[in-house]
Structure 1
């Protein structure tokens, strides 16, 4: 009995000691979390992610120096876009830099709107805008798409280099740019505040990111122009042969002859129209970069106009109605006008591809 009492007393002491150790460890852990971890750059990165997922604007502004971020991001965007399109040095660079400063204020306003919308709704552009706000929404949409924001997604925090003496840190943040189909590492600078909180201050290589994205887009545009030019050259040869055949039939015959009209109709329906339809189908199957979207849509309209003109002309070979031949002539004039527009637009697009 005495031994049992001693054993129980010893067990109680051990339990109490264990409990005290657990309390001390828990207290130490809580102290470490509050006093240390919450005052690290890693914690600030985590809080920014939470702010976005929880649509918490106040928390975002607590851990991000939004004003400075927008200021430096607008500079990087304008410089990066210009440098990618028109590489400038010396006096030319200074002149271009002065010109881009004129656009800085509206760019900052658009970026500010985009950031606020993204935190509040999870989208860069507010889809519930009235007509008076539509112009601003379009501007913001253009800017965020220009710098590829809708196609960027966070992947991971690669590393964190902290300079405690200077109160700065650089986070290597890997993002995925789906338009480019590539991963890219952004250098995110954080600065320690007087209260001990670390705030995201600047993306120091954002200009290089913009330049790389623009060059990639230029390569995509060049690839589209080269591929579509080859495609249309092949079809132009077929169309030229069909038109030459029709010219030969008309030179050796007469539109007053049913036989000639039947032969011309056969060339239209069996060679010329199918080739324009094939051209349109092949164009529709192409991958089209945004920068070439207007040109591509114009080319599809040309196909439609040419098909309509040829179809009406073939129909006229049978019905001989004035309304039918007028419809053919109208479609042909439309096609030729669109072709002139496409030629000019092709030159403009080519001018921005180095």
Structure 2
């Protein structure tokens, strides 16, 4: 036993642990019932099994240390790469475009205003919109065209401001509400009101489909996106002009907004024409009935003292309840039976709104005849004005449909 220990001790003195173990592995002979000892540091003797375990443990520690250093290095490199990428990416127009889209989804008005110069977009969009509406309207004479141009330039600041408030409210609340401060459009000097302007702008119907590439253009950039018009289903490649400001990259205008408006007009033109022609016999037939009833109504309501005798009241109530209101209901029932193409949905809705407002106006007038209360007559007058607004809007749409069918698109 002692001889074995001395032999092993000789190995320990002559070689390192690793070398000693390798020599034991190379020169080991099969021994039975013999325990081989190796002297460790400090003179203590250990068995071969303990020695092997210590070697393996040292190897594992060294491998673990290497893996730890490698993992830590990879983490540091990854963090540095991400930090560099973000610092680079957030300064690019692609980032601003993505954040603008995210702000709309999150109803984040502040984030949207940081990425979109809403005032500049509305200002440029107003010029494109009024051009499409009036500059190519062949039904206007030269003097009317000049007058319309001056008129819309005079009210541009007010209307563009209204558009800004409307867009911002829609981003924040998902509601396209009519803003204040656009009363200049309520008079129908040129056959348009704010509601109709909004409809012609197609802002309420346009939805984002996809975000494409962003191309640098000198000091600015052009972002390519795809949008869809909800009224017609038309998908259109839209170009957004972007410029860098103190707040970073911002969208400042829709470069091809005019082309988009004209494309939607062409897409909806066939539907409008089809619906107008399909409903023309109904409209023409009932127009004669309505004119006759309205003439009788005016005859009965035109009194010297603006008061109604008992006979006048009875005649008016009978005319409204037995003739005018039933005729309006039958008229709308026949219109509802006509198939409405997708591009004519707004026109059909305006016609229905006009009919319903007229019926409500006559019903309030009947209540006023029964009660004699001024507020009933005032409500009837308000509803009558609403019905006229709807009717004029319908007339504008029909006229513009005919004009657009004859006028080529802007080259």
Q: TM-score, normalised by structure 2?
A: 0.54
Tell me how far 1:123 sits from its aligned partner.
Answer: 1.4
Residue 145 (structure 1) aligns with: 199
Residue 138 (structure 2) pairs with residue 66 (structure 1): no
* Cα deviations by residue, 1:322-350 (Å, 9 ceiling, x for unpaired): xxxxxxxxxxxxxxxxxxxxx99998765
Kept in 2: contact 1:111–1:140 (CA 8 A): no
The alignment partner of 1:143 has SS state of: helix
Residue 2 (structure 1) aligns with: 55
2:84, 2:202 → 1: CA distance? 42
Residue 159 (structure 2) aligns with: 107
Q: How does 1:1-354 map to 2 (within 5 A)?
A: 1-33=54-86, 35-83=87-135, 85-86=137-138, 97-125=149-177, 141-163=195-217, 166-193=218-245, 197-229=248-280, 281-286=333-338, 287=340, 289-291=345-347, 351-352=399-400, 353-354=402-403
2:212, 2:157 → 1: CA distance? 33
Tell me how far 1:222 sits from its aligned partner.
Answer: 2.2
With over 3 angstroms needed to count, the CA separation of the structure-2 counterparts of 1:114 and 1:136, relative to structure 1, is farther
1:65, 1:344 → 2: CA distance? 34
Tell me how far 1:142 sits from its aligned partner.
Answer: 4.0
The alignment partner of 1:150 has SS state of: coil
Tell me how far 1:293 sits from its aligned partner.
Answer: 5.4
1:96, 1:133 → 2: CA distance? 20
With over 3 angstroms needed to count, the CA separation of the structure-2 counterparts of 1:12 and 1:87, relative to structure 1, is farther
The alignment partner of 2:175 has SS state of: coil
With over 3 angstroms needed to count, the CA separation of the structure-2 counterparts of 1:95 and 1:47, relative to structure 1, is same
Q: Which runs of 5+ in 1 are unaligned?
A: 237-275, 303-342
The alignment partner of 1:179 has SS state of: coil
Q: Which has the higher helix share?
A: 1
2:392, 2:113 → 1: CA distance? 47
With over 3 angstroms needed to count, the CA separation of the structure-2 counterparts of 1:103 and 1:44, relative to structure 1, is same
> Pairwise CA RMSD of aligned residues?
4.2
With over 3 angstroms needed to count, the CA separation of the structure-2 counterparts of 1:86 and 1:43, relative to structure 1, is farther
Query: Could you say which structure has the larger radius of gyration?
Result: 2
The alignment partner of 1:180 has SS state of: coil
With over 3 angstroms needed to count, the CA separation of the structure-2 counterparts of 1:3 and 1:158, relative to structure 1, is same
Tell me how far 1:279 sits from its aligned partner.
Answer: 7.4
* Cα deviations by residue, 1:74-105 (Å, 9 ceiling, x for unpaired): 11111122245449999997775444312312
Residue 321 (structure 1) aligns with: none
